[in-house]
Amino acid sequence: MPYVKEGAMSYVKERIAECYRRAEEYKRLYHRASSLDEREAYLSTRREFLRLAENLEKTHARPKLKRSG
């Protein structure tokens, strides 16, 4: 079953990367926005993508092996 776990981790890593890409996209939109309302919406959405990526990283990180000794 290691193959299934590797496939799942690969999928999660892709989702994390996509969140960071989208956050960068919204950062660019934020800088181009002409109105304050637009900027607030882009900033809020960017933060949500960053938060999602961070949460995925935390919850799907590989567990560290405990050393006996």
Report domain extents, the chain. Answer: 2-58
Question: Tokens 């567990």, residue?
Answer: 63
CB 49 within 8 A of CB 17: no
Q: Which residue has the tokens 């690969």?
A: 10
- Contact predicate 45/26, CB 8 Å: yes
Q: Tell me the mean pLDDT in the region 22-50.
A: 98
pLDDT in tens, 7-17: 778 899 999 99
The model's pLDDT over 34-43, given as tens digits with 9 standing for 90+, comes to 999 999 999 9
DSSP state of 67: P
Amino acid at 47: R
pLDDT band at 63, cuts 50/70/90? low
